[in-house]
């Protein structure tokens, strides 16, 4: 379930019920621990290594030159679409 929002928007639950749903854990703690252990094992990370990675500053896709060939055309395409749609709006 999407954390109760669809039910709240369609007034199938009250606001208080929706807030209670938000207080519930997203993932059962035992299952989260099991899945985390599985991921660490498959990736070959220790708890300390994983904690260091998660605490590090997030990287953008553009920080990696290998992605530039894929992302640059997307950014150019987005810019062209924005310019074209702005031109359509001005002509009206």
pLDDT at 89 over 90: no
pTM of the model: 0.47
Query: Average pLDDT of the chain?
Result: 80
- End-to-end CA separation in angstroms for the chain: 42
pLDDT at 85 over 70: yes
Length of the chain: 92
What mean pLDDT do residues 43-67 have?
Answer: 86
CA distances from 7 to 4, 39, 71, 92 (A): 5, 33, 37, 40
- Measure the CA dihedral 56/59/63/66, to 10°: 100
Question: How far is the C-alpha of 54 from the C-alpha of 74, rounded, in Å?
Answer: 28
């Amino acid at each position: 379930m999407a954390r109760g929002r669809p039910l709240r928007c369609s007034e199938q639950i009250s606001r208080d019920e929706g807030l209670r749903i938000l207080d519930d854990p997203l993932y059962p703690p035992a299952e989260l621990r099991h899945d985390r252990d599985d991921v660490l094992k498959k990736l070959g990370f220790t708890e300390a290594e994983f904690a260091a990675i998660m605490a590090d500053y997030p990287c953008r896709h553009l920080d990696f030159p290998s992605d530039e060939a894929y992302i640059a055309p997307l950014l150019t395409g987005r810019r062209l679409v924005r310019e074209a749609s702005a031109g359509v709006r001005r002509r009206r």
